[in-house]
Amino acid sequence: MARKRIKVSRRMLFTWCILAGLILFFSPQTWTNTLQFAFARAFRWPLSVGRNISLAGRTRQYPQNAKTLRDVQYQNYIANLEEQLRQKQEKIELLQGLRDRLYALEGAGLMVADVIKCSIDASRGELIINRGENEGLAIGQYVLGDNSIIGVISGISARQARVKLITDSTFKTDTGINIPRLKVEGMMRGNGNNTAAINLVKHQAKVGDGVFINKKPGFLDAPMIIGRVIKCQKNPDTPLLWDIVVAPACEIETLNVVAVIIMNPEK
Amino acid sequence: MRWIRFAVFILIATVLQASLVDVIAVTTLNIKPDLLLIALVFFAIYSSTTEAVLTSFVTGFASDIISTSPMGAQIISYVIFGTLLAYLHRLVAIRKMPYQAAAIFVIGMCVLLSSYFLNSLRGQETITNIYKTAFGTSLYSCVIGPFFFLPCAWWMRLKTYRFSRH
């Protein structure tokens, strides 16, 4: 029996396609995230091969006084310890006898995850990692790369999670950041072009100054380095104040492994 | 249209766009060409209008799958502008490489900006550098896009010198 051919007019086909787009557009993001995660999971192998090839063609650029990746990691580690020590000393001076945790990650679990996909362009900065709700990850948890904060978990499925990088143009610190050398505090937001900005600061920062994210109960117990100052210029509208441009404390694009900070994990 | 070849083609383009295209990113803004945008223009030009609607939908879906923003906006933009280009091609034949490049540039700007505005309607946060990104991506795509048309046509077994206007 000959198969009956269904004829659909162009107008009807166009309407159906737009309708399908609208359904996806108005669907909850958690549902559509499932599709995006499914693609990343299904094509994990070719995506990681492609990423490795693109990384191989890229030369690493290290910050000042660092020649190797190990140097960068040590510098960030030392910066974290110095800042924690400084805060510790302040606390000891002010609140004698009060004991507190010495190390930011004491009592925290670190969930190591592989980077499946890295999307960094002019407006967005995002990673997809191979750990999810099943491993205890939750939205808002901080993500470490080379001993520095590189972003927060912004979307999650059972086995994968989306990390919004500090340079993403929609990233904004929900807790304050500080530059210890200047004793200034402020809020930082991503610029998109692999940098972030702290605007309207009272003091001039120097290139290379460490920028630390403040502690956030339940997510981070002590300040940790989030970036370094790469540029400081007068605000065009308010010349008495300064705009600071911050670069991540490590080269995020080249990271293959990151760690998610899970405070007080269930044992 | 050979739909299996089309599916394989879109799959490869999607995986390449999500991974290997980073190698040829330029400037500090990480501007890279959009292979799916080039595919959208290619199929809008070299296939019938009905097929152009379907291919626009599939390329839009693929673009949404690998994007970092919520799904839907790019499908809508791809379908609208892919269909418009297919209809335009019935009136004005886009045969020469400069015209093809211009088509990629204009469609690229329209698709990227409209999907951004659709996302902002949905309450997504404002993205900085969107105009620079759209301009850079469209420009980069239009420079290299026409050179991909011949291998694409070979893979799809399409004859590029014949321009059907269904």
**In this predicted model, what pLDDT tens digit does every residue of A66-103 receive, in sequence order?**
667 777 778 888 888 888 888 777 766 655 543 444 45
- Whether A17 and B31 lie within 8 Å, measured CB to CB: no
For all residues of chain A together, what is the average pLDDT? 80
Reading the block at residue A220, the tokens are 């981070």
| Residue numbers of A between 185 and 214 with CB closer than 8 Å to B | 191-194
> Do the Cβ atoms of B19 and A122 come within 8 Å?
no
| Mutation for testing the B interface, residue in A121, A124, A243 having most B CBs under 10 Å | A121
Position A265 scores a pLDDT of 61
Contact A53 B66 (CB under 8 A): no
A267, part of any domain: no
* Total domains, chain A: 1
Mean pLDDT value across residues A123-133: 84
pLDDT at A100: 47
Is the CB of A170 less than 8 angstroms away from the CB of B127? yes
Q: Is B127 on the interface with A (CB under 8 A)?
A: yes
Q: Does the beta carbon of B143 lie under 8 angstroms from any beta carbon of chain A?
A: no
Would the CB atoms of B75 and A24 count as touching at under 8 Å? yes
Question: Is A167 part of any domain?
Answer: yes
Beta strands (DSSP E) in chain B are none
CB contact under 8 A, A17 and B79: yes
**pLDDT at residue A126 in the model:** 87
Partner-chain residue, chosen from B18, B29, B72, that has the shortest CB–CB distance to A47: B18
- At A97 the pLDDT is 45
Look at residue B30 in the predicted model and tell me its pLDDT. 79
Query: What integer pLDDT is reported at residue A259 of this predicted model?
Result: 87
Per-residue pLDDT of chain B (166 residues; tens, 9 = 90+): 788 999 999 999 999 888 888 888 887 777 889 999 999 999 999 888 889 999 999 999 999 998 878 888 999 999 999 999 999 988 888 888 889 999 999 999 999 999 888 888 877 655 667 888 889 999 999 999 989 888 888 888 887 654 455 4
Instruction: Please state the ipTM of this predicted complex.
Output: 0.87
Minimal-distance CA residue of chain A relative to B63? A36
CB interface of B with A, residues 36-55, below 8 Å = 49-50, 53-54
Give pLDDT, residue A101: 42
- Which domain covers residue A156, as residue numbers? 28-262
Which residues on chain B are in Cβ contact (under 8 Å) with A128?
Answer: none
Q: Which fold, B3-22+30-155?
A: Arp2/3 complex 21 kDa subunit ARPC3 (1.10.1760)
Single-letter residue type at A103: Y
Which residue would you say has higher pLDDT here, A86 or A143?
A143
pLDDT at A7: 75
| Closest Cα in chain B to A33 | B70
Q: Check pLDDT > 60 for residue A169.
A: yes
| Residue pLDDT, tens place only, A200-215 | 888 888 888 888 888 8
| pLDDT for the residue numbered A223 | 83
pLDDT for B124 equals: 64
Confidence of residue A63 (pLDDT cuts 50, 70, 90): low
User: Is the model's pLDDT at A198 over the cut of 80?
Assistant: yes
In this prediction the pTM is: 0.68
Taking the C-alpha atoms of B134, B138, B139 and B144 in order, what is their torsion angle to the nearest 10 degrees? Answer: 150
Does A166 or A173 have the greater pLDDT score? A166
User: Nearest Cβ partner of A123 from B53, B71, B128?
Assistant: B128
Question: Is residue A8 situated within a structural domain?
Answer: no
Q: Which residue of B has its CA nearest to A46?
A: B15
Residue B64 at interface with chain A, using a CB cutoff of 8 Å? yes
Average pLDDT over residues A47-65: 70
Contacts of B66 in chain A (CB under 8 A): 36, 39, 119
State pLDDT tens for residues A207-247: 888 888 888 888 887 888 888 888 888 888 888 888 888 88
Domain boundaries, chain B: 3-22+30-155
Q: Do B65 and A27 touch (CB under 8 A)?
A: no
**Is position A13 within any domain?**
no
Q: How confident is the model at residue A4 (pLDDT cuts 50, 70, 90)?
A: low
Q: Which pLDDT score, from 0 to 100, does residue A106 have?
A: 63
What is the model's pLDDT at position B40?
A: 93
Does residue A4 fall inside a structural domain?
no
B152 vs chain A: nearest CA distance in angstroms? Answer: 21
